[in-house]
Amino acid sequence: MTVCDVKSKSKQDLDYMSISFWKDPSNYDVNLPSFKRSIELFVNDSHFQTKYLAAPEQTLEEYGLSNIKPLELDILTNKEIGMQYVPGGDKEIPTVVSQYRKFIQCKQGHSLEIREIQPDHPGWRKWRARMVKGTLWREGLLKYKRLVHAPYTVEFTYGCTVGCWFCGVSAEKFQGPVEMTDEVKSNWREFLHSFNSICGQESAQNGFCYWATDPLDHPEYEWFLEQFHDILGYWPQTTTAQVMKHAPRTRALFKHIESKNGFVQRFSMTRSTDQRKIMDFFTPEELFLCELIPQYDNKLSPKATAGRVRDLVLKKQEQDKDIPFHYNLESTGSIACVSGFLINLVERSIKLITPCAASDRWPLGYRILGERTFEYEESIEFLLRDMLASCINNQLLPNDYLKPQLGVVFSSSTDNVLAASSHGYTMSVKNVSAPGTIAEMLQLGQYTVQDVCNAVEAKGGSRVQAMIALYQLFEMGIFDEDIIDTARKNSLAVRS
């Protein structure tokens, strides 16, 4: 059963890897929500951790968690103790510990499934698969596993009222929500039907509704999600940094989606005091299907050197001032998580985007392959399909420059093997003519497809064989496609 399965099943058929399992409290220990809270306090709250380490039982009681045993928490927070309670070991693992581990596995599986579900559109599917693989070569396994490459995201406001200093996409100041006119309502439903048609329902369910915005800035945000659920059969995930500003509203939202096909929501905590306020208002049961993200702590929630963080680093460097947080202006990271469409209903804009390392050209950590504006009378599906057809490249051409993703190293061996390595992973292409020549040229990143094929032929090798090897590397997302896409756009501009 997939995480998108909405069919009713008997209790004995439910699998803990299904979101349906965790939406029914009768399937897990009554203390599991409190246990989750104790872990969040230990990890995110240094005051709690200090108190707990000095007086475990007293601290748990003080925080309303007397139903949690210190040993249960210690198994997941104390490495030495935890090693004694492993699956298949001699010591019996407490029920809440075992169930919590399964809950985490389900969440991780859900993220993996979002990444693995491909849109139906063949060109989009092929391009997105390369973008997914490219994450591994550029940023390593951890980011590769976490980055879902969602098919689209939609904003219902222009700008954001929160103004986080670390905003990785440099949200503009809030300028207002989209008006709830009949045209806007009809347009939103047309977008949803269009994505259902182009992506297929499984993929379309993985879109979401915020970006450089906080979703609760729109007073009727929930209406948009209701339409999403009505048309696509899933309630999209919400991330907000304004939970306590809208606490009763959020509580009502939690209650409303209990009967909907949806999973985990997220609260971004921008101050160290936020968690205690949130936990004072919401019960452990209300927050069970909600992640609390400690954005106030760079160690707990590392910031990509993109957007405002990047601007701040560059400004402090220019002023020769200390920078009190980790940053990397070369391997910058990104908070972008979409390989598809970024839509703003206020601006009536559509961008086709994909994550990348932040740079002078792309300071927000995502590339924009194409951009359009739309009118209400236009066919949204036709416009989306036209952008996919005209903005995405899915083949190598003779004049394409081949530059590797940042950090990729090419090598060769005497048995005609060409290899590309990065972050501890290697891809090998066998039976390659002149692999040393190809590796050297690709490493320099200054040569075109035709240049490489000519060099191989000059060595007595096969152009066809060289081309096949380059395509294999291309399909694995090893090349920086911004170089290819930009050169093609410039060429078209010159010809026009």
Q: What is the pLDDT of residues 412-467, one digit of tens each?
A: 998 999 999 999 999 999 999 999 999 999 999 999 999 999 999 999 999 999 99
Segment 211-222 shows an average pLDDT of: 98
DSSP H or E segment with residue 191: helix 182-199
Band of the pLDDT at 297, cuts 50, 70, 90?
confident
Across 143-147, 222-226, 295-299, least confident range = 295-299
Give yes or no for residue 4 having a pLDDT over 50.
Answer: no
Most confident of 3-17, 147-161, 305-319: 147-161
Nearest to 148 by CA among 68, 239, 45: 239
Give yes or no for residue 148 having a pLDDT over 60.
Answer: yes
- Which residues 6+ apart lie within 8 Å of 136 measured at CB? 144, 422, 423, 425, 477
Question: Rounded mean pLDDT of the chain?
Answer: 94
Distance, in Å, from the CA atom of 193 to the CA atom of 199, rounded to the nearest integer, reads 10
Supply the pLDDT for residue 3. 36
H-assigned helices in 394-480:
435-444, 449-458, 463-475
Residue pLDDT, tens place only, 335-363: 999 999 999 999 999 999 999 999 999 99
Nearest to 48 by CA among 217, 228, 279: 279
Residue pLDDT, tens place only, 240-261: 999 999 999 999 999 999 999 9
Supply the pLDDT for residue 332. 87
Residue the block writes with tokens 């009768």? 26
CB 43 within 8 A of CB 300: yes
H-assigned helices in 282-422:
308-318, 380-391
Per-residue exposure over 96-121, b if at least 16 CB sit within 10 Å of its own CB, e if not:
bbbbbebbeebbebbeebbbebbbeb
What does the DSSP 8-state code read for residue 425?
E
Amino acid in position 124:
W
Give yes or no for residue 109 having a pLDDT over 90.
Answer: yes
Give yes or no for residue 481 having a pLDDT over 80.
Answer: yes
Distance, in Å, from the CA atom of 442 to the CA atom of 438, rounded to the nearest integer, reads 6
Supply the pLDDT for residue 106. 96
Amino acid in position 321:
K
Give yes or no for residue 47 having a pLDDT over 70.
Answer: yes
Supply the pLDDT for residue 495. 63
Across 64-73, 281-290, 306-315, least confident range = 306-315
Distance set, CA 298 to CA 161, 208, 235, 276, 305 (Å): 22, 25, 30, 19, 12
Segment 47-67 shows an average pLDDT of: 97
Segment 9-33 shows an average pLDDT of: 83
Band of the pLDDT at 496, cuts 50, 70, 90?
low
Q: Whole-angstrom distance between the N-terminal and C-terminal Cα of the chain?
A: 51
Distance, in Å, from the CA atom of 356 to the CA atom of 411, rounded to the nearest integer, reads 24
Supply the pLDDT for residue 493. 64
Q: Select the more confidently predicted residue: 323 or 201.
A: 201
